[in-house]
Amino acid sequence: MSKALLILFFLMIGFTVFFMSEMKDEAFTDMQENSPISVKSEISA
């Protein structure tokens, strides 16, 4: 019983880490698109 709970626990941790990394990647790309550097380059261009 405890082994099954342990496996379920690790699965939930793995899913959480995967979900958080996916969300972080999306937020990171959004930050890159809206970064001040790109805005400056667009203004100077």
Following DSSP, what letter does each residue of 10-27 receive, concatenated?
A: HHHHHHHHHHHHHHHHHH
What pTM did the predictor assign? 0.45
Q: Number of folded domains in the chain?
A: 1
Rounded-to-integer distance, Cα 20 and Cα 13, Å: 10
Q: Which two tokens stand for residue 44?
A: 């100077």
Q: Is the pLDDT of residue 10 over 80?
A: yes
CA 29 – CA 5 distance, rounded (Å): 36
Distances (CA, A) of 27 to 4, 8, 12, 18, 44: 34, 28, 22, 14, 26
Mean pLDDT of the chain, nearest integer? 77
Structural domain of 9: 2-44
Q: Is the pLDDT of residue 22 over 70?
A: yes
Would you place residue 1 in the very low, low, confident or very high pLDDT band (cuts 50, 70, 90)?
Answer: confident
